[in-house]
Amino acid sequence: ERRMKGFLERIAMVLEEESLAKRGERILIACSGGVDSMVLLDVMSRLGRTSGFSVYAAHLDHGLRGREGWRDQRTVARFCRSIGVPFLGGSSNVARLSEERRVSIQLAARYARYAFYLESLRQIGGDKIATAHHADDQVETILMRLLRGTGPLGLQGIPMKRDSFYIRPLLGEWKSSIQEYASSIGLPYREDPGNRESRYHRNRIRNCLIPHLEAYNPSLKACLLRLSTWAGEERQTIHYFIDNTLKDIEYVRTGDEVAIRRSKLLVYPPVVWKEIMRAAIQDLGEHYGPDGRCQSRMIDFLRNAPSGKRMDLPSRLVLGRDFDEYFLRKRRVKEVRTDLMVELTIEPEWKGEFRHGNYLWNVSVELLARGKISDPRGRAFHQYFDICELALPLCIRTWRPGDFLEPGGMKGRKKVSDLLIESGIPRRRRDEVLVLSDEKSVIWIIGIRRGRRGWILGSSREVVSVKIDSQEFASV
């Protein structure tokens, strides 16, 4: 009884210190019927009664073990009934899923299991999913990653919390402590013979490699767990540094794209480039970063790629360079240009708005006497035109191939496409550029360059003011 009380107290402390389960929350226990998840279910139901959170249990029969799988689910359901915990059961044809997705049985089972847990969480209006990973699982995970050649990030192992709603309250407990707790209260649970089969990689590490290494160092597990803790602490330091670096490199997230100033990034060593890329990939919603080989390709790209170059990454991501800018974005199935044309109403005061790209654009048009303008040169998004020199109507539209502008300060005319390149507008952004035109030609590449037609001169009498500003949809 003393050991049982100590076990409960340790888990209660973890829940509080790590903010894993709070009063009023609904916690779904992912329960296979094995000793680990049954102990988790029992402990969380006891602590829930004293701490004010609700506990539910979910079990998925993978359809791989016939009647044994059904007996697993029955064991969990009966235990839930005995302790007053609501139970959600389900089944899946994992073998068929494995064939359809062309993945291993283990990976297909994981897909099915986590999809079922998420759906169960939605059904109960739950807050978190608790899984029964423990310290031995952590050690096995670290060894598996070391054998694959992991970096510092992989040495962290399994996190106590993931995606804000996956929690692992038993992560600090050894398997032996979990089994002792189960024995002390006579907890029912099921044994999966598959855990002893040497054909599975993790089982070989658990049953063969770890005992072999413990002959060299009996404290192997504790050492690897300590290594994981240190790696996690170092990651926190790196995160702090990276968070402060993002502003310096002009890191900007817009929609499904991240942009970074190339000249600012290259000031830092390549190890920082890796962390910035990892942060950007996570910012775009991808939880798993690139492997070592892909990271090497990315570093080579950042160092050597010319402007206009693109590189495909896993998870349907694209890394590219446009002039002094790197960008990372989700791959689009098909690039579709959206044409726009908005005719301006010329009257004493007129306002309009339209959507284009990721922005809401606001336009203000005003008729003024020449004498009311103090600075006729205008600004990037506010220009003045002599209305008598223009061929009305005026339109704001997307530029077209063949458009030209008569730039101020030079003779003749120039293609809009050439002016965009000279201005350093990234290729992927050029279709978003808007122009102001009259019946003859483009008179202003908005925000970039205006033409000499319609310049305000001393002889000008009536002037039209065109002012434009924009807001991202997310901030509207």
* Average pLDDT across the chain, whole number: 89
Residues 323-358 as b or e (16 or more Cβ within 10 Å = b): ebbbbbbeeeeeeeeeeeebebebeeeeeeeeebbe
- Specify the higher pLDDT residue, 44 or 275: 44
Instruction: Please state the pTM of the whole predicted model.
Output: 0.65
Residue 82 confidence (pLDDT) above 90: yes
Residues 6+ apart with CB under 8 A from 357: 338, 432
- Please report, rounded to a whole number, the percentage of residues in the chain having pLDDT higher than 90: 56
Confidence at residue 308, expressed as pLDDT on a 0 to 100 scale: 86
Domain 250-330, what architecture? Answer: 2-Layer Sandwich (3.30)
Amino acid 306 reads P
- Specify the higher pLDDT residue, 283 or 175: 175
Instruction: Over range 43-49, report the average pLDDT.
Output: 97
Look up tokens 């068929």; give the residue: 96
The candidate with the shortest Cα–Cα distance to 41, out of 17, 19, 59, 64, is 59
Residue 335 confidence (pLDDT) above 60: no
Lowest mean pLDDT among 10-24, 262-276, 329-343: 329-343
Q: What is the CB neighbour count within 10 angstroms for residue 119?
A: 12
Going by pLDDT thresholds of 50, 70 and 90, the confidence category of residue 57 is very high
Same fold, 1-228 and 250-330: no
Residue 259 confidence (pLDDT) above 60: yes
Q: What is the CB neighbour count within 10 angstroms for residue 375?
A: 8
Going by pLDDT thresholds of 50, 70 and 90, the confidence category of residue 409 is confident
Residue 473 confidence (pLDDT) above 70: no
Is the sign of the CA dihedral 375, 377, 381, 384 positive or negative? Answer: positive
Confidence at residue 1, expressed as pLDDT on a 0 to 100 scale: 72
- Please report, rounded to a whole number, the percentage of residues in the chain having pLDDT higher than 70: 97
Instruction: Over range 38-63, report the average pLDDT.
Output: 96
| Maximum pairwise Cα distance, the chain | 100
Residue 476 confidence (pLDDT) above 50: no
Euclidean distance between CA atoms 28 and 72, whole angstroms: 18
Euclidean distance between CA atoms 90 and 118, whole angstroms: 12
Residues paired with residue 468 on neighbouring β-strands, in sequence order:
363
CATH fold for domain 1-228: Rossmann fold (3.40.50)
Helical H segments across 93-134, by residue range: 94-101, 105-124
Residue 106 confidence (pLDDT) above 80: yes
Lowest mean pLDDT among 66-80, 188-202, 415-429: 188-202
Instruction: Over range 369-381, report the average pLDDT.
Output: 81
Confidence at residue 41, expressed as pLDDT on a 0 to 100 scale: 98
Confidence at residue 475, expressed as pLDDT on a 0 to 100 scale: 41
Residue range 86-104, pLDDT digits in tens:
999 999 999 999 998 888 8
Residue 474 confidence (pLDDT) above 60: no
- Specify the higher pLDDT residue, 408 or 263: 263
Residue range 142-173, pLDDT digits in tens:
999 998 888 777 888 899 998 889 999 999 99
Residue 44 confidence (pLDDT) above 80: yes
| Domain residue limits, the chain | 1-228, 250-330, 341-470
Tell me 387's DSSP state.
Answer: G
Residue 333 confidence (pLDDT) above 60: no
Residue range 162-206, pLDDT digits in tens:
888 999 999 999 999 999 999 999 999 998 777 777 777 888 999
The candidate with the shortest Cα–Cα distance to 428, out of 340, 347, 337, is 337
- Specify the higher pLDDT residue, 25 or 333: 25
Cα separation values, 403 from 329, 421, 455, Å: 29, 14, 19
Instruction: Over range 17-40, report the average pLDDT.
Output: 96
Instruction: Over range 275-291, report the average pLDDT.
Output: 82
Residues 6+ apart with CB under 8 A from 48: 21, 27, 54, 55
Going by pLDDT thresholds of 50, 70 and 90, the confidence category of residue 285 is confident
Going by pLDDT thresholds of 50, 70 and 90, the confidence category of residue 215 is very high
Residue range 382-401, pLDDT digits in tens:
999 998 999 888 999 999 88
